[in-house]
Amino acid sequence: MSTAAPTVPVVDGIPFARAGREELRAEVAGRLAAGEVDRARVALLADADDWWTEPPPPPEQLARVPAATTLREAMGLLGMGRVADYFAHRWSDPTHLAGLALLQQHWPGRRPVVDVACGIGTHLRELARRGCTDLLGVDVVWAKLWLARRFVCSTARYVCADVTTAPDLGVQPPAYVLCHDAFYFLRDKPAAAAAMRALAGNGGTVVVGHAHVADPHGAPLTPEGYAAVLGTDLLYDDAELTTALLAGRAPRPAAAADLHSSEAVALVAGDPCSPAQADLGEPLPPLRPNLLYVDGELCWPSERYAAEYGPRSAYLPARWPDPLPPDAARRRLLVDLPEAW
Ligand SMILES: C[S@@+](CC[C@H](N)C(=O)[O-])C[C@H]1O[C@@H](n2cnc3c(N)ncnc32)[C@H](O)[C@@H]1O
């Protein structure tokens, strides 16, 4: 009986090792063997995560994605809908700022970084621009990794897989394993936590950001539940992280028992590392005006986005201020967007 591992097809440098997609894997491998790279890519671009409810766009539309010249054009062709709004404006939302505050306080330094459920690589881009060189993004959605590599952070490596069933990712421990705004989605949290700990290795670090508590989306745990599954008592309130980044101060940790009414929490397990020397609250130039402002007014991209982020984005004033305040960059009136945004 053969015990050979199943083929992991690679298109545009991104291996497709997602478990539970054996038919798609076989189809892609077959297309590659026949020299049909474009059709293999279209098949991969049509695959979505288990929470997504929309049908994929027609293949003719997906075939046009590689010719897109901007991130937003590509996301439009991919039919990403509300997720596209969220990714396009990630650079100024309070959840992303909370993630930056965590990185600020617990900086990976020279360690290899694995961003689990990295989406389009927003955090990887920040890490790369701040000098980290050994970067790996893992996500179950191949299309998001394709966007990350093409438009957001081309210097990272990417592997399409679920962290619990990923093949050997070739990470040299001790590593810094990050999972932001996604851990609450993962159905088997003990397995995911164990896989992240194994990736981090002895002396490594596991950082989980924006894990839903009071926010019911996904499959949230209590703060104590997250603390137990990750084996740590170093927790933060997500709103405190955002506030700390905006104020340019260190975030204050909190006890799990005090975080029950938090919308979301963050946790750091293993070596907590040291704070970054750089100030991640100050985005790196070149900076551009935040394109949430249209004709001088703050315009949310959708009602859903407004409901989720509006109440937590008081740092963005309703009208574009003229003159700009000295802290315009810190408050993300000016943002550090990818070149081909
Ligand atoms: C809300 S997004 C967050 C993306 C990114 N971490 C960020 O902060 O911008 C959640 C991500 O989790 C990914 N995801 C969902 N289930 C996953 C799983 N089992 N393994 C890996 N990624 C998963 C989705 O594809 C999506 O990119």
Give the pLDDT band of residue 6 (cuts 50, 70, 90).
low
Contact 135 CB / ligand 1 (< 6 Å):
no
Pocket test for ligand 1, best of 181, 199, 207, 215 (most atoms within 8 A of CB): 181
Least confident of 100-109, 142-151, 209-218, 253-262: 209-218
Is residue 5 predicted with pLDDT exceeding 90?
A: no
How many Å lie between the centroid of ligand 1 and the Cα of residue 140?
Answer: 7
Q: How far apart are CA 255 and CA 280, in angstroms?
A: 25
Query: What is the residue with the minimal CA distance to atom 18 of ligand 1?
Result: 162
Sign of CA dihedral 166, 142, 89, 188: negative
Domain ranges of the chain: 10-88, 90-270, 288-335
Contact 238 CB / ligand 1 (< 6 Å):
no
What digits encode the pLDDT tens for the residues 15-72?
Answer: 999 999 999 999 999 999 999 999 999 999 999 988 788 899 999 999 999 999 999 9
Q: What is the pLDDT of residue 2?
A: 44
Structure tokens at 303: 């009602």
Contact 137 CB / ligand 1 (< 6 Å):
no
Helix (H, G, I), strand (E, B) or coil at 45: helix
Burial class (CB in 10 A: 0-12, 13-18, 19+), 252: exposed
Is residue 287 predicted with pLDDT exceeding 80?
A: yes
Is residue 211 predicted with pLDDT exceeding 90?
A: yes
Q: What is the pLDDT of residue 139?
A: 98
Helix 122-129, helix 94-105: angle, nearest 10: 40
Q: What is the pLDDT of residue 64?
A: 98
Is residue 163 predicted with pLDDT exceeding 50?
A: yes
Pocket test for ligand 1, best of 75, 136, 140 (most atoms within 8 A of CB): 140
Atom of ligand 1 nearest to the CA of 90: 9
Helix (H, G, I), strand (E, B) or coil at 98: helix
Q: How far apart are CA 79 and CA 68, in angstroms?
A: 13
Q: What is the pLDDT of residue 1?
A: 43
How many Å lie between the centroid of ligand 1 and the Cα of residue 165?
Answer: 15
Over residues 312-329, the mean pLDDT reads 97
Atom of ligand 1 nearest to the CA of 119: 27
- For 5-39, b/e burial (b = at least 16 CB within 10 A) is eeebbbbeebbbbbeebeebbebbbebbeeeeeeb
What digits encode the pLDDT tens for the residues 223-266?
Answer: 999 999 999 999 999 999 999 999 999 999 999 999 999 999 99
Contact 36 CB / ligand 1 (< 6 Å):
no
Contact 119 CB / ligand 1 (< 6 Å):
yes
Name the residue with higher pLDDT: 322 or 214. 322
Q: For a pLDDT cut of 70, what percent of the chain falls above it?
A: 98
Contacts of residue 201, defined as CB under 8 A and 6 or more positions apart, other chains included, come to 171, 173, 174, 175
What is the phi/psi pair of residue 51, to 5°? Answer: -90, -10
Over residues 2-15, the mean pLDDT reads 81
Asked if 170 and 200 touch (Cβ cutoff 8 Å), the reply is no
Q: What is the pLDDT of residue 7?
A: 84
Contact 180 CB / ligand 1 (< 6 Å):
yes
What digits encode the pLDDT tens for the residues 99-124?
Answer: 999 999 999 999 999 999 999 999 99
Pocket test for ligand 1, best of 100, 149, 185 (most atoms within 8 A of CB): 185
Give the pLDDT band of residue 218 (cuts 50, 70, 90).
confident
Atom of ligand 1 nearest to the CA of 187: 19
Q: How far apart are CA 155 and CA 302, in angstroms?
A: 32
How many Å lie between the centroid of ligand 1 and the Cα of residue 212?
Answer: 13
Identity of the residue numbered 92: S
Mean model confidence pLDDT for the chain = 96
Asked if 239 and 303 touch (Cβ cutoff 8 Å), the reply is no
Contacts of residue 151, defined as CB under 8 A and 6 or more positions apart, other chains included, come to 70, 71, 74, 120, 338, 340, 341
Q: Which residue has the tokens 């137990």?
A: 228
Name the residue with higher pLDDT: 82 or 28. 28
- For 143-165, b/e burial (b = at least 16 CB within 10 A) is bbbbbbbbbbbeebbbbbbbbbe
Is residue 340 predicted with pLDDT exceeding 80?
A: yes
Asked if 331 and 315 touch (Cβ cutoff 8 Å), the reply is yes
Over residues 182-199, the mean pLDDT reads 96
Structure tokens at 12: 């545009």
Domain 90-270 has CATH 3.40.50.150: yes
